[in-house]
Amino acid sequence: MSARFSGQVVGLKGTLVELTLDAPPGRVPLFTNFGGATTIAQPTDRTLFLAPLPPARPPASGARLQADATLSRKELDDAALADVVAGLAPGRGGAILETGIKALDFLCPLRDGGVLGVFGGLGVGATVLLGELIHRLKDGWQTLNVVYAMRGADAPQAQGLRAQAVDEGLGEFDRNGRVTIAWVPASSASDPGGPEAAVAGSFHAALLLSPGLTVRGIYPAVDGLRAASTALAAGDAGADHVEVWRRYREALGRTRELMADVAFWELVALKSRRANERFQAFEADRLARLAASDRQLVTRVRKVERYLTQPFHIAAPFTGMPGQTVSRHETVRTVAAILDGRFDHVPEQALTFKGSVQP
């Protein structure tokens, strides 16, 4: 596709360019090559963010840009991605922003006005998660910036998914005043160490959405070992939260070692429908062979994974389950109770896609 667009530079944040278009921004698809830059977000009705422009001298504020926009699969390197984050929200962010989404509030608590990095590519429930965040924050006073990092090769499909999400009412993507979403083709998008490295750099929180969890029906598919937050690293989330989070990560890491299955991940990579069947058969056989103490550990970790699933408000018309909200304090307390064995008699299904639960 190719079309001509023009606009005026209204802001420069580092090497990030903010452009006001002469026409409604809906005409400009994401990931288009706009005069050498890549379009990544449209947070208002008239404004477009561009990834850093290539010339040595960035355009001055007030300058006009005009170009033929063509689809770009160019990936931003780590330095350019850091510029995007710094341009969206410089500084350390504000107080902890509670979303009521258990997996986020426990595994990677967000900061008011901060930047959340979402890694993991397509087909792992990212658009639904982003739509739910928008829904939950739209009427409040807190704000959030999201950088959804994906592979450049996924740009054409991502365009279609974003348009479909808007058509189906999954949030007013990119234009909501409380949540700004930047869809960024980035070289680190599929890096399994991305979230930890991102938080060590400039993100305030980051997570990896795992296809290994989606094939097991776990949503949101936040990988507990690939989620990080400055609120946890700095201890701002509170001593109790940090302690339970560390206990869970240690237990989850041990579970991954005990239940490692190369064949399962090969099927996941191939997007095979047999992946979940393989997981269930392997899990039953491996659990039977484990020592009692290891079996107990694995079972409790599985229950935490199930507890961290949750019905979303925006998905209620499709699932028939009303959305649920759980406080961060209650989530931390319940995860601790599961790890302590107080839910040993409760079946996993009783914890799956629920809000608050009782032992």
Residues of the chain with CATH 2.40.30: 2-71
The CB-based long-range contact list for 336-340 (8 Å cut-off, 24+ gap) reads 336/240, 336/244, 336/247, 338/300, 338/303, 338/304, 338/307, 339/244, 339/247, 339/248, 339/251, 339/300, 339/304
Q: What is the mean pLDDT of the chain?
A: 83
Q: Do residues 125 and 309 touch, judged by C-beta distance below 8 A?
A: no
Is residue 350 classed as helix, strand or coil in its secondary structure?
helix
- Residue in the block written with tokens 């404004």: 47
Determine the CATH number of domain 2-71.
2.40.30
Is residue 38 classed as helix, strand or coil in its secondary structure?
strand
Q: Among 173, 138, 170, which residue's Cα sits nearest to residue 42?
A: 173
Given a cut of 50, whether residue 171 has pLDDT beyond it is no
Kindly state the DSSP code that residue 75 receives in the 8-state scheme. Answer: P
Percent of the chain, pLDDT > 90?
Answer: 38
Among the residue ranges 69-73, 240-244, 314-318, 323-327, the one predicted with the least confidence is 69-73
Residues forming beta bridges with residue 118, ordered by sequence position: 148, 207
Given a cut of 60, whether residue 165 has pLDDT beyond it is no
pLDDT given at position 249: 96
* Alpha carbon distance, N-terminus to C-terminus of the chain: 57
Averaged pLDDT, 20-45: 70
- Residue in the block written with tokens 């058969």: 281
Given a cut of 90, whether residue 159 has pLDDT beyond it is no
60: its two tokens: 């001055």
Residues of the chain with CATH 1.10.1140.10: 244-351
Given a cut of 90, whether residue 330 has pLDDT beyond it is yes
Kindly state the DSSP code that residue 186 receives in the 8-state scheme. Answer: B
The CB-based long-range contact list for 125-128 (8 Å cut-off, 24+ gap) reads 125/209, 125/214, 125/219, 125/220, 125/221, 126/209, 127/161, 127/162, 127/164, 127/165, 127/170, 128/165, 128/170, 128/219, 128/220, 128/312, 128/314, 128/315
Averaged pLDDT, 36-48: 72
* Cα–Cα distance measured from residue 270 to residue 126, given in angstroms and rounded to the nearest whole number: 20
In CATH, 244-351 is 3.90.120.10: no
Averaged pLDDT, 173-178: 59
* Cα–Cα distance measured from residue 310 to residue 329, given in angstroms and rounded to the nearest whole number: 16
Q: What is the pLDDT of residues 281-310, one digit of tens each?
A: 888 898 999 999 999 999 999 999 999 999
Given a cut of 90, whether residue 25 has pLDDT beyond it is no
Global pTM reads 0.88
For 63, phi then psi, to 5°, come to -70, 155
